[in-house]
């Protein structure tokens, strides 16, 4: 079908209005003269409605904020609890290493029943003499022993305690780092949830606009100002908008479930927005990228945890080398026994005796075992050192990516705001032209699609700013508590 000219469209519209007026006059009869025909009025344009996204995403009293989502995620994430369990295990090893400094005290109580024996007589001076020593069948003993590992104080205990202490500190920093990462992830999950809710609003607005346009197209088709193809095209656009709305609602449902999982929220808890996400200041970072990267390398807990791990492994390496040297142990024993073996002849009574001494021992096999153990400890130090280098490179890239997103946020928001204003005005003009037969359905559909895209770009720009700030704060270590930087 050929496109009708604007002049012909206006003529057809005037004829349709005139025909309607004549029909109304005929039905009224000759009882009263018909009033003078008024010129056709242009369709009234709706007032500029407030931004539906801003209204839908406005903070509610008692709603969930991004900070609250981060704190809840840091408390409830399973990986954080796993790191905290590792910290408890590391702290227990410190206690074990501390006990190693104490002398080893051993207490023992023994009862022994001996079988009866007959002592043969012995000859003395040509005479057979019966043994004067009694046979005591019941033996009781109480022994207390104290062992002091003298050489271990120099070669083992100090290094072992230092290694356990550094390992515990590394575990504490790792647990704190995991909690901060969980908090950052919780904030991002919150912002994605808010973004999904805004997407539902945008999709709903697109459906309502398309539905209103279908009504306009059908009216225009009824008076001959639009073709059947125009009506079908706009109905297809309505169907596409409804499909997009269903997809947006499905995505919002998934995003809400992800947030609930991150903060361990029960299924019956009402999720309301408590943070203002559309009015964040888009000021770019005041520091340079190099300054932010150096800040990350000095403040991020992950790299500090690796430093502590390296210190711990170096102490383990030193501890392992102690296997090359002999052991020196001091000992002391106290015995209260009946009979006491040091009392001759044996008597059926309790006697107390004691002894002290120093023991030097060297197990030759340990020397060869130490060679392999020392090489293993040295290799582990080298491995963690390389991991630290890889982590430093990763932190630099993480900061660079977050910095780039934060820098582009301001111009992106400004462009998105201008684009939405232009798209709204463009749709208004196209709609007015279409109602007057001066625009095609394709032009109106394109204008509506552009407005939907402009609203989504504006929403993405504002949410992207918040996500970029959350990522940059975590990447640079700004979210590290002050007590951990002391």
- Which percentage of the chain shows pLDDT scores above 90? 50
172 in any annotated domain = yes
pLDDT higher than 50, residue 355:
yes
pLDDT at 124: 66
Confidence band for 186, pLDDT divided at 50, 70 and 90:
very high
* Per-residue pLDDT tens over the stretch 300-310: 999 999 999 99
Q: Sheet holding 104-113: strands in order across?
A: 104-113, 138-149, 327-338, 351-361
Nearest 5°: phi and psi at 362?
Answer: -145, 115
Q: Is 455:461 a contact under the CB 8 Å cutoff?
A: no
Gyration radius from the chain CA atoms = 44
- What does the pLDDT look like over 241-256, one tens digit per residue? 899 999 999 999 999 9
Note the pLDDT tens digit of each residue in 3-45. 444 334 433 333 343 333 333 333 334 334 444 444 444 344 3
Range in 6-20, 46-60, 353-367, 424-438 with the lowest mean pLDDT: 6-20
Residues 391 and 478: their CA atoms lie apart, in Å, by 18
pLDDT grade for 216, boundaries at 50, 70 and 90: confident
Q: Could you give the CA distance from residue 178 to residue 84 in angstroms, rounded to a whole number? A: 9
**Mean of pLDDT values over 166-190:** 94
CATH of the domain at 293: 1.20.1600.10
Residue 69 in domain: yes
- Is the residue at 413 inside a domain? yes
81 within some domain: yes
Range of the domain at 178: 48-104+161-329+371-485
Closest CA to 251 of 304, 307, 195: 195
Number of helices followed by number of strands (H, E) in the chain: 11, 6
At residue 127 the predicted structure's pLDDT band, cuts being 50, 70 and 90, is confident
12 lies in some domain = no
How many structural domains compose the chain? 1
Q: Report yes or no on 141 lying in a domain.
A: no
**Could you report how far apart the first and last alpha carbons of the chain are, in Å?**
79
359, pLDDT greater than 90: yes
Question: What integer pLDDT is reported at residue 34 of this predicted model?
Answer: 44
Does a structural domain hold residue 26? Answer: no
pLDDT tens for each residue of 61-81: 889 999 999 999 999 999 999
In a domain, 40, yes or no: no
């Amino acid at each position: 079908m050929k496109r009708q000219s604007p002049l012909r469209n206006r003529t057809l519209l005037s004829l349709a209005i005139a025909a309607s007026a004549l029909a109304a006059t005929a039905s009224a009869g000759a009882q009263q003269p018909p009033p003078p025909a008024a010129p056709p009025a242009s369709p009234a344009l709706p007032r500029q409605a407030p931004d539906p996204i801003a209204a839908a995403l406005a903070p509610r009293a008692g709603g969930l904020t991004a900070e609250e989502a981060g704190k809840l995620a840091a408390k409830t994430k399973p990986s954080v609890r796993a790191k905290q369990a590792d910290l408890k295990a590391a702290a227990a090893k410190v206690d074990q290493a501390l006990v190693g400094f104490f002398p080893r005290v051993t207490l023992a109580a023994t009862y022994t029943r001996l079988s009866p024996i007959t002592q043969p007589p012995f000859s003395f001076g040509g005479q057979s003499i019966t043994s004067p020593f009694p046979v005591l069948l019941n033996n009781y003993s109480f022994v207390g022993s104290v062992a002091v590992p003298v050489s271990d104080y120099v070669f083992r205990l100090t290094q072992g305690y230092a290694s356990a202490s550094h390992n515990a500190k590394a575990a504490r920093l790792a647990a704190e780092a995991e909690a901060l990462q969980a908090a950052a992830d919780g904030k991002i999950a919150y912002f994605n949830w808010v973004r999904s809710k805004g997407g539902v609003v945008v999709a709903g607005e697109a459906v309502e606009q398309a539905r209103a346009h279908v009504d306009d197209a059908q009216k225009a088709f009824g008076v001959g100002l639009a073709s059947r193809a125009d009506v079908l095209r706009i109905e297809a656009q309505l169907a596409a908008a409804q499909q997009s709305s269903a997809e947006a609602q499905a995505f919002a449902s998934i995003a809400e479930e992800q947030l609930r999982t991150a903060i361990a929220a029960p299924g019956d808890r009402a999720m309301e927005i408590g943070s203002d996400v559309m009015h964040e200041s888009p000021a770019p970072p005041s520091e340079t990228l190099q300054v932010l990267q150096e800040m990350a390398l000095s403040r991020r807990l992950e790299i500090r945890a690796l430093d502590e791990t390296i210190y711990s492994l170096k102490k383990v390496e030193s501890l392992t080398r102690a296997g090359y040297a002999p052991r020196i142990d001091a000992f002391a024993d106290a015995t209260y026994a009946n009979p006491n073996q040091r009392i001759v002849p044996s008597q059926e009574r309790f006697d107390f005796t004691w002894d002290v001494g120093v023991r030097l021992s060297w197990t030759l096999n340990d020397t060869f075992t130490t060679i392999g153990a020392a090489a293993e400890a040295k290799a582990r130090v080298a491995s963690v050192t390389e991991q630290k280098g890889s982590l430093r490179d990763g932190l630099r890239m993480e900061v660079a990516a977050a910095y780039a997103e934060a820098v582009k946020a301001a111009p992106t928001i400004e462009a998105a705001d201008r684009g939405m204003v232009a798209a709204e005005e463009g749709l208004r003009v196209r709609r007015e032209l279409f109602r007057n037969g001066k625009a095609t359905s394709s032009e109106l559909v394109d204008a509506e699609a552009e407005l939907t895209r402009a609203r989504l770009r504006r929403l993405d720009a504002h949410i992207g700013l918040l996500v970029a700030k959350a990522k940059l704060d975590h990447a640079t270590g700004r979210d590290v508590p002050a007590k951990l930087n002391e």
